[in-house]
Amino acid sequence: MASAEARKCPNCGAAVARIDSRFCEFCGHELPRPTARPTVSPPSPYGDLEARFAALQQHADLQRLMMMAPRMAGIGCGMVFTIGFFILFVGASLFMFTVIGATGAPGFLRLVPLFFSVAGVTAAIAILRKMGNFSRAPLQREPALVAGERTEVSGGGRDSSSSTDYFITLEFPGGRRREYTTQGKVVGKVSEGDLGVAFLKGDFLLDFERLRV
């Protein structure tokens, strides 16, 4: 707010001693309320994004990148490996179910491998559905800014290894932001504030090509 020293009575011109005074102490005239100073937004840590996105649209290599298609071999191999693991898991569970039944063990023991078999089939169906959605999603190429990175580590213990999920937040022209799942190699090649072309497929960031702007 404006300081008390900067306020004066519009009727008699006397200085206002208190910032919260409603009436002049000398003539009793009602004082106008002090005007609030406009709030100044802090500068973006990534510079003038509007100007940077405008410069990106004029970059000589933008059209070439907008025609590229990133490699997806690593993603496909990972999905095939996951499906193969669940097939082996379900097969082993069914084999245990058969062996336990042949030994004449109590019936409740047979429920354990049966439960694992059902859980494995359910997980495999969910992964297949996700693979189908991924394969049907169109490949999109979008000018974007890397606005954030994070990782999530799950699992890990005495008898199991941990797994790491990678996420990148992108900002698009106009201020829209969205977080995408990605691979570790993509996270390793970009930094916050990088501007370039994002290669997207559904909610997955396949790759990001930086351009100096």
Q: How does DSSP assign 38-80, residue by residue?
A: PPPPPPPTT--HHHHHHHHHT-TTHHHHTT-----HHHHHHHH
Q: Where are the alpha helices (DSSP H) in 61-209?
A: 62-65, 73-102, 107-136, 184-189
Q: What is the pLDDT of residue 178?
A: 96
pTM for this predicted structure? 0.61
Q: Which numeric CATH code is attached to 139-210?
A: 2.40.50.660
- Cα 68–chain centre separation: 23
Walking along the chain (213 residues) 10 residues at a time, the average pLDDT comes out as: 59 81 82 71 80 93 90 58 66 68 63 68 72 80 95 74 89 94 92 95 93 88
Q: What is the pLDDT of residue 1?
A: 40
Q: What is the pLDDT of residue 114?
A: 66
* Amino acid making up residue 38: P
Cα 121 from Cα 129, distance rounded (Å): 12
Q: What is the pLDDT of residue 33?
A: 78
Task: Answer for the pair 186, 208: CB distance below 8 angstroms, yes or no.
Answer: yes
Q: What is the pLDDT of residue 8?
A: 83
